Amino acid sequence: MTAYILAAGSGRRIAPYDECRAKCLIPVLNRPVLDFALDALDALGCERIVIAAGRHEHDIRDAALRWAAGRESAGAAPAIQVAAVGETDGTGASLLACKETDDGASEDEASLVLYGDVVVGEGDLRRLLADSRKHPQATTLLLTPVPESEVRDSIVVSTADDRVTSIVGHPRGGAGGRVVAAVLPAGFRRHLAACPSHFPVVQVGMMPPRELHLEAAVETFRAAGGSVRSVTASELIPDIDKPWHILEANERVVRSACAELTANELDEGASIGQSASIEGYVRLGRNSRIGRNVIIRGSLIAGADVVIDAGAIINGSIAVGDGSFVGNACFVEDASVIGRGCVVGHAAELSGVLFDGVYLCHYMEIYGVVGERTDIGAATVCGSLRFDDGETVHRVLGRREIPPAHANATYIGDYCRTGVNATIMPGRKIGPYSIVGPGVVLEEDLPPRTGVRVRQEQERYPWGPERYGW
């Protein structure tokens, strides 16, 4: 069957990271989310993949080409087509647009559909496909549990004995699952074409927007007498929809990857210095090295040409991308991920995720997500605790939200800079292409392409030895 990856959404909820990339290109363990889907489909023997792309079509196409180039030595790669569908009115509209422009699609075959902003494992997809083969006339959904705090933000699927009993849009409460992948039976296109423009099942008083959701098409299929089955994912799969989900996804994946290490793995030219103290295991890429007086209280995965040296302290499971430097008495907290070409230097403290090319130097504390090629000035500090010991209220598309985790983290967009002694208060977001000037105490979110600086009044007056009686 043809596999479809839906990656055409605007991604506005994940601001400040939406302007420079599609959600499917958000890095998790220093790889785009898209790579995980392509890896899983490739392992399953999928021969044909169609990716629905919106305004970031060029970048998605480039990422797909890079993935294909990286696995050419393993044999024939799947045929990948990037379908430019524009910014559609929902996942159902994206899939329908793909099918209408896909000359290779056949109404006589089933379709495997993945959302482009989730990290789905091969094993769960294999179980989904196995169930769909037993029930070829049914629609089969792969579900992950919806945390109680996110029920009101989700399309919630209820099940009984592996059968779907209801699909409700953004209910006020309850429990259920969220769709992360689906197998649609042959002939499902007509249900996509008949997909209602507003979600068909909502509670009284709720206000669904005009969007054509894939789940709405599945619900019309079910209401017409079709069988809808469910397979539950083996673990909670984060939906990378808001900035704090970047931290959640990276935490989950880096801990899982480090837990798989059972011995040190050193590629050609890699080395570990005799004075290094390592409590777990490390995987070092080509020509990477762990140098003098490094302390690793856990396990570490590093790419090629990485240097970890000069008293770096690593507390827990972390990953470091190709060509990065970590050292000079810096401190890296558990479950952090450092991108490619980064510098975490003199007495810097990091807890969170750095995209590629980020510089942290000279007495600073960063907690949160830092976008690509961002330069953090000396002594920049991100507050992580509020004086009232509470959690920061965020606004997502104007709606007030308190994240279940990482509410007090800082979210810095791509291509930003901070000046010396800048202080960023808990939970603040900084848009891409922005500057926080020296000495600024940032208490509000900063829009994209904006600079903020301190204006101070100064008084000059005479002074000299005569003031001391000379």
Which pLDDT band holds residue 74 (cuts at 50, 70, 90)?
low
Percent of the chain scoring above 70 in pLDDT? 99
What is the distance, to the nearest Å, from the Cα of residue 421 to the centroid of all Cα atoms in its chain?
Answer: 29
- The CATH classification number of 2-238 equals 3.90.550.10
pLDDT tens string 123-159 = 999 999 999 999 999 999 999 999 888 899 999 999 9
The verdict on pTM exceeding 0.85 is yes
Highest CATH level, class, for 246-452? mainly beta
Distance between CA atoms of 392 and 243, rounded to whole angstroms? 14
**Position 299, amino acid:** S
**Chain centroid to CA 399: how far?**
21
Domain with CATH 2.160.10.10 in the chain: 246-452
Residues of the chain with CATH 3.90.550.10: 2-238
From residue 305, alpha-carbon distances to 69, 115, 263, 340 in Å are: 21, 33, 20, 10
pLDDT band at 1; cut points 50, 70, 90: confident
CB atoms inside a 10 Å sphere around CB 400 = 8
93-128 confidence digits (pLDDT tens) = 999 999 887 766 667 789 999 999 999 999 999 999
Collapsing DSSP to helix, strand or coil, 295 comes out as strand
Average pLDDT, the chain: 94
Report whether 289 contacts 307 (CB < 8 A).
Answer: yes
What are 323-362's pLDDT values in tens digits?
A: 999 999 999 999 999 999 999 999 999 999 999 999 998 8
| Residues 6 or more apart in contact with residue 338 via CB below 8 angstroms | 318, 319, 320, 321, 324, 326, 332, 344, 350, 354, 358
* pLDDT tens figures, 183-206: 999 999 999 999 899 999 999 999
The encoded tokens of residue 271 equal: 């080395």
